Amino acid sequence: MLKEALIGTLCGAVVLTIGILIGHFGIQKNSAPSWVNDVAKDVDEALIQQFLSEVETFQLQENLRELTKVPHMATSPGDEETVKYVLKRWQDPETGLDEAWRQEYEIYLSFPNPTNPNKVTVVNSLDSVLFTVREREVNYTADQNDPQVVQPFAAYSPAGHAKGKLVFANQGKPSDFQHLNKTIDLRGTIAITRYGGEGRGRKAINAAAYGVVGLLVYTDPLDMNDGLMSDTNETYPHSWYLPPTGVERGAYNRDFGDLLTPYLAAKEDTYRIPPEDITGIPPIPTQPIGFQDARTLICALAGEAAPKDWQGGLDCIYNLGGPGFKPTSPFNNSDVKLDIYNEEKIVNSSNVMGVIRGSVEPDRYVIYGNHRDSWVHGAIDPSSGTAVMLEITRVLGRMVKKGKWRPRRSIIFGSWGAEEFGLIGSAEYTEEYFTKLSERTVGYINVDISVFANATLSASAMPSMQSVIFRAAKQVNAPGFDSTSVYDNWIRYTNRTSPAHGIIPRVGYLTGAGSDYAAFVHYLGITSIDMSYTYDRSKTNARIYPAYHTAYDTFDYASRFIDPGFVAHQAVGRTAGNILIRLADSLLLPFNCKDYAESLEDYLNTAVNLYQKDLIAKSISMEPLSKAVANFRKEAEQLDKVIQSSDLANETPLKVRKINDQLMLMDRAFLNPLAFPNEYGFRHVIWASSSSGKPTFPGIADAFAQANSSHLASDWKKVHYHLSVVAQAIDGAANMLKEVI
């Protein structure tokens, strides 16, 4: 009986088990489709750690070495070599991307004539040449001897001949010429100005307004070299400082994008405006020179001494000019003469594009970009950034090729062409794909010069990105430290007190057009970041790294003086890549609109402090602006509550998408294509560039400055107009955050 009972129990157990198995596996249940888990997947922290561990200094170094082998000015043979190199890397079967291709535009560039170089001379009344400015920089390494090194020039300066008495015009600001004009008749003069204080192109425009007929621009050793001048022991190749013959090249146009095809992609058959209709380029021949030659000219100037704050680092008193030279100088009674032979051409320029397709939301893009073109070898500008981009794509590409990873959203990499001539490659790209990019782009990450110096991280971004930047920076070791994060290092150098977060690193605003983020921020309204490693400002006053745009910005320079060991490159690559992965993989986009609200409140407070009293006197109320900012704050808080109280991984993916769309598209509401009709591409009414220098809403600030100076009723109306534009844009952005119906 016991045996039978045992057998019975056993049989029963077996039958029960069979039953359970049939019940569980054999009967179709309302089972979850395979995609249910995919759509709920969030960023994988282990994958981020793996990414961080695979970013290698050696690879960064070799990337930089390859990218800087030859000069690669836009559309030059060297540029074509870098196009092929980037394509090869992104098409590599082991470490490449899903797809990579070349995207071409026919753009309007300006070059010196290779067989008829620009000349700057001092000539006497018989037209005998007493002195000639160097045409090339001194060779210290073989790099400077490359025949492809372009003569220093001011791109978009017109060709032409100008001759006149020299004057020193400080930085070429309107106020500088105004000051000079009090005592000197500037008509027919040549002005020499130093870099800094004013955009390159604007110096020439400002000068021409006073009748100046030619312009020289030089780099003052006080502004760039902390006063050092001698190449026997002080400047490169002995240090990072600029040698006496180094010349900063540059584009002298005010607007970005191809100058002949504003708001249209520069294809072969695209309508082009007549070149004579271009605005914002030098009206007079213009040429940059080095401080060795500038010294020869400035130290010979007659006239009264320039104001104290105009004095620079050259070893003489800077006089204003008689106009012209001292009677005691060998140049007595002589003129300065500019013979400029620049030529404009419509040439073919390439962006190189690469993508990793998204798995779950392929129609959401995270874009990462940098320009590829340089002025000469461009080791720091831009190849330090391209080296970082290629290292990020190598690490991510390998994961993709091995089948270990595919991002939730699509990632687009852009190696832009012709940035140095006015952000042209990226601007044309945004013009060609305007609606597609506007509707689908989650964020844009720009890493141009990745390492200005190796002291600390620096970042500018839309405020909603602050939190993801911080999160990434906390996960990366700071170069030069064993256990300090990039974040902890950063906060020591530049910080602020946030009402919400206490002391935090200061993230700047993207208010200018300094690199390729411009079209993404100002034209498309895409949430963006621009980042790099940079200086310890307690150690140098250099305006920028001293070899900027000269023949000395080489691999040797970068690897010996800017980032020995490539550890800062690595830190930037890790931080930027970390942000990139988070934007691409996070279930919920890592954007915090409450931080945006904090910035708007900050701008509002500044505006109220600066303008309210005067505006009340003009019967213009700032109330709608205050209300709009409060409304934005309220909706940002409310959306945050919705997010906090949601179990997003278990809800319909359309709810997550809804919130992500709110976060992604909010910034688009700040665009107003009519607010700044004369500023190409500037449509973002919060971050547009401003000439007022006030940290507040740019349209209001500039209109106020104008009205406060002109006292015209029509100008006060413009202040009111810009108040309405900004208030309604902020209300529009708040509406994007509001519960959707």
Q: How far is the CB of 60 from its own copies (least distance, A)?
A: 28
Q: How far is the CB of 22 from its own copies (least distance, A)?
A: 5
Q: 257 with 431: CB under 8 angstroms?
A: yes
In sign, the C-alpha dihedral spanning 241, 246, 252, 258 is: negative
108 burial type by CB count under 10 A (0-12 exposed, 13-18 middle, 19+ buried): buried
DSSP readout, 196-232?
SSS-HHHHHHHHHTTT--EEEEE--HHHHSTT---TT
Q: How far is the CB of 87 from its own copies (least distance, A)?
A: 18
Q: How far is the CB of 258 from its own copies (least distance, A)?
A: 12
Q: Looking at beta carbons only, is 140 or 523 nearer to its own copies?
A: 523
Helix (H/G/I), strand (E/B), else coil: 103? strand
Q: Indicate the DSSP class of residue 32.
A: P
φ/ψ of residue 350, rounded to 5? -110, 135
Q: How far is the CB of 741 from its own copies (least distance, A)?
A: 5
Could you tell me how far CA 730 lies from the centroid of its own chain? 25
Q: Looking at beta carbons only, is 364 or 694 nearer to its own copies?
A: 364
CA distances from 422 to 45, 214, 258, 346, 357 (A): 39, 22, 7, 14, 30
Q: How far is the CB of 45 from its own copies (least distance, A)?
A: 23
CA distances from 687 to 648, 680, 693, 694 (A): 32, 14, 12, 12
Q: How far is the CB of 724 from its own copies (least distance, A)?
A: 4
Q: Looking at beta carbons only, is 572 or 729 nearer to its own copies?
A: 729
711 burial type by CB count under 10 A (0-12 exposed, 13-18 middle, 19+ buried): exposed
φ/ψ of residue 78, rounded to 5? -65, -35
Q: How far is the CB of 261 from its own copies (least distance, A)?
A: 8
Q: How far is the CB of 418 from its own copies (least distance, A)?
A: 19
Cα gap 621→612, rounded to integer Å:
8
Closest-CA residue to 109 (of 254, 251, 308): 251
Q: Position of tokens 């179990």?
A: 647
Determine if the peptide bond prior to 114 is cis (ω within 30°): no
Q: How far is the CB of 630 from its own copies (least distance, A)?
A: 15
Q: Looking at beta carbons only, is 461 or 675 nearer to its own copies?
A: 675
- Which is catalytic among the residues 361, 419, 431, 635? 419
Q: How far is the CB of 736 from its own copies (least distance, A)?
A: 6
Q: Position of tokens 């971050």?
A: 687
DSSP readout, 404-470?
S---SEEEEEEEES--TTTSHHHHHHHHHTHHHHHHHEEEEEE-SSSBS-SSEEEEEE-GGGHHHHH
Q: Looking at beta carbons only, is 410 or 690 nearer to its own copies?
A: 410
Q: Is 268 marked active-site?
A: no
In DSSP terms, 414 is beta-bridged to 353, 369
Q: 455 with 535: CB under 8 angstroms?
A: yes
Q: In 310-329, which positions are buried (b, 16+ CB within 10 angstroms) versus exposed (e)?
A: bbbbbeeebbbbbbbbbeeb
Q: Looking at beta carbons only, is 343 or 623 nearer to its own copies?
A: 623
Q: Looking at beta carbons only, is 65 or 717 nearer to its own copies?
A: 717
Helix (H/G/I), strand (E/B), else coil: 535? coil
Q: 246 with 120: CB under 8 angstroms?
A: no
Q: Looking at beta carbons only, is 507 or 700 nearer to its own copies?
A: 700
Q: Looking at beta carbons only, is 140 or 716 nearer to its own copies?
A: 716
Q: Looking at beta carbons only, is 495 or 724 nearer to its own copies?
A: 724
Determine if the peptide bond prior to 93 is cis (ω within 30°): no
CA gyration radius, the chain: 29
Cα gap 726→704, rounded to integer Å:
14
DSSP readout, 302-367?
-SSBPPGGG--SSSS--B--SSSB-TTSTTTT-EEEEEE--EEEEEEEEEEEEEE--SSEEEEEEE
What angle (nearest 5°) sits at the alpha carbon of residue 370, between those of residues 364 and 375?
160
Q: 156 with 111: CB under 8 angstroms?
A: no
CA distances from 337 to 42, 113, 125 (A): 65, 18, 12
Q: Looking at beta carbons only, is 293 or 428 nearer to its own copies?
A: 428
Q: Looking at beta carbons only, is 215 or 664 nearer to its own copies?
A: 664
Q: How far is the CB of 366 from its own copies (least distance, A)?
A: 11
CA distances from 596 to 262, 325, 522, 622, 697 (A): 31, 55, 16, 20, 14
Positions annotated as catalytic residues are 419
